Chain A
Amino acid sequence: MTKQRIFNILKKEWQVMFTELNSLMLVTVLPVIILAQGLLYVWLIEKFGGESMINSSFFQSVLRKISEVMSAVSNLEITEQLQVFLLSQFNFYLLLIPVMIAVSFATFSIVDEKQTHSLEALLATPVRTWELLLGKALSGAIPAIIVTWICGALLLLGVQVLGWGDLLTYFLNPAWFIILFLLTPAISILSFLLGVIGSARAKDSKSAQNLVVLIVLPVLALIGIQISGVVWFTTILTLVLALAVVVIDFFVLKVAVRLFSRESIIISWR
């Protein structure tokens, strides 16, 4: 029965989401912008060489850091090194897609229930809180994961077409697979649950939407840390990070079930 209920929630959430223009825009426009940025960098460097950036002291210091963890990079042409460096940032930059989609779907999903008063009738059914939250979390996380994977595949294709011949071999490392197949699902679920917690406690849709910004910040911090060369996320470090997020997922699901108080929803949602 639990599976049936979770699937029931999933199916309904998708039907509601995909009748909304905002949701469709979110899953199409945002990934296209992020993807286009990545490919544009590769193309620009290939076409114009990126001379000014190559000569900057900042890039030189980051390049030394990359060379420490990827020794093969130091044998490359300077333009190729620049492409490797910029594309490496896209490992984490791509994570903005699942985070933004999942959080937005979460806030939309809860705010919609609040605005239409449909939740009291739903809570009067035998559905359990964790079934409801997991169903909703998956409904946001699955499209976010699929869209990220599609973007990942398109990015690889674009790099192959627009970049220099062997660029893909430097880009397609184990960290890339860990990010795509472990960190992306884990961070999608985490973002959705945080979105649910925040919007369940938010007073109105505006404050719920503002939460999106807060949840995106840690991902931006990751990008910042790597781009500044302070910490370079090697395969091991990326794996540790992904596993930590998986553990956090379970913890946050428990917290979400506790915070998603049926009583306060029924009493205070007007």
Chain B
Amino acid sequence: MLIETFKLTRKFGELTAVDNLDLTAEEGKILGFLGPNGAGKTTTMRMLAGLISPTSGYAVVDGIRPDKEPERVHEIIGILTEAPGFYNNLSARRNLEYFAGFYHLSDASAQIEKYLKLMGLWERRQDKVGTFSKGMKQRLALSRALIHKPKILFLDEPTSGLDPEVSQEVRGLIKNLSREGYTIILSTHNLSEAEQLCHRIAVIRTALVTLDTPANLRKRLFHHQTMIKLEEIDDNLIQVVSKLDYVNKHSREENTLLIELADPSKHQADLIKKIVEAGGRIIEVTDKKHSLEDIYLSLLNEEEKI
């Protein structure tokens, strides 16, 4: 594991922002921090990045304790903050040169050129950053996080405040970075973004609610359901379905039957046969897929009940 936390806790006076957090991040994968505003995502990220210290507990990032040796951690991380700031009177290129100047880089110019081109900013490299749009600044901030070839990237709400087109563009860039082997910690409260990008998701609400892959979270929280859309549903059909011993649960939503089977791979074909024999005219058979939003809300509801 490239990142591990052990009972990581951070308090601000009486307020506990992060509570006994134990989590891991695998090398070369995207780990999403998902949670409502004020859940402690940014605070966790800042502790991992060695920007603030934990009140108790600790983290290990690539074998280094960020609270003990922040400068060493800073050598191997790149960070995109939620509100990335620049020196607006300096050019895009000069801004990157300045930040590159804090690392041992033999090829700073080449790196700057590479990322300005990759982010589509090469033509505007001599323009003052103050004249850039929000999307351009976000791409420039991503370049800044990457110029020193970090092992780990921390991205805090990377698409926050961007229009849908630019958001999609930034997500594409993040996917490409993941393919290149970067380990990425992505903080977001955008569920579809987390679903599109993350290999694993840590749902955080001060403490860790859960940590798993989106697919496993679905499996764990929701049983498989078969959705059968019919031309018409009558009482006879409902009776036939309810008498089948492998049907655990069933419900109806207009002309669609939602059926939970004991073993879908074994019983689905027989179920369809029985419905047809009972006179049902089937339009479509699909598996119900729960969105990350369903999972997320379900997890937070469960936590509230506890």
Contact = CB atoms under 8 A, between A and B. Distances in A.
Interface string B66-108: 0000011011010101011111111000100011011110000
Contacts, number: 77
Judged by DSSP, the binding face of B is: loop
Interface in B93-136: 94, 98-99, 101-104
Contact of A116 (B88, B94, B99, B101): B88
Nearest to B98: A12
A258 to B, nearest CB: 15
Interface string B22-54: 000000000000000000000000100111110
Interface in A1-31: 1, 4-5, 8, 11-12, 15-16, 19-20
Contact of B85 (A16, A118, A262, A263): A118
Contact of A124 (B51, B98, B104): B51
B144 interface: yes
A146 B83 CA distance: 37
Contacts of B77: 124
A5, A124, A262: residue with the most chain B Cβ atoms closer than 10 Å: A124
Interface residues of B, number: 31
B90 A121 contact: no
B84 A121 contact: yes
A118 B53 contact: no
A165 interface: no
A4 B103 CA distance: 10
B89 A126 contact: no
Interface string A125-154: 111100000000000000000000000000
Contact of A120 (B81, B101, B103): B81
Contacts of B50: 124
A15 B90 contact: yes
Contact of A117 (B52, B81, B98): B81
Given A15-B90, A117-B83, A263 B53 contact: yes
A203 to B, nearest CB: 18
A241 B179 CA distance: 63
Contact of A5 (B49, B53, B101): B101
A125 B96 CA distance: 12
A16 B84 contact: no
A119 interface: yes
B51 A123 contact: yes
A135 to B, nearest CB: 11
Nearest to B52: A263
Contacts of B71: 126, 128
Contact of A8 (B87, B90, B98, B141): B98
A118 B144 CA distance: 12
A262 B84 CA distance: 17
B87 A118 contact: yes
B101 A8 contact: yes
Nearest to B150: A124
Contacts of A117: 81, 83-85
Nearest to A1: B104
B74 A116 contact: no
A121 B101 CA distance: 13
A267 interface: yes
Contacts of A116: 85-88
A64 B91 CA distance: 60
Contacts of A121: 79, 81, 84-85, 99, 141, 144
Contacts of B87: 12, 16, 112, 116, 118
A125 B75 CA distance: 7
A122 interface: yes
Contacts of B141: 121
Contacts of A118: 85-87
Interface string B138-166: 00010010000000000000000000000
A124 B74 contact: yes
B49 to A, nearest CB: 6
A213 interface: no
Contact of B102 (A5, A15, A113): A5
Contacts of B84: 117, 121
Contacts of B144: 121
Contacts of A263: 51-53
Interface in A36-59: none
Interface of B: 12, 46, 49-53, 71-72, 74-75, 77, 79, 81, 83-90, 94, 98-99, 101-104, 141, 144
16 contacts: A5-B101, A12-B87, A15-B94, A20-B89, A116-B87, A118-B86, A119-B85, A121-B79, A121-B99, A122-B99, A125-B99, A262-B52, A263-B53, A266-B52, A267-B12, A267-B52
Given A4-B101, A121-B99, A126-B71, 6 more contacts: A5-B101, A15-B89, A19-B90, A121-B85, A124-B50, A126-B102
Interface of A: 1, 4-5, 8, 11-12, 15-16, 19-20, 112-113, 116-128, 262-263, 266-267
Report, nearest first, the 8 A-B pairs whose CB atoms are least far apart: A117-B85, A8-B101, A118-B85, A125-B102, A19-B89, A116-B85, A126-B74, A124-B79
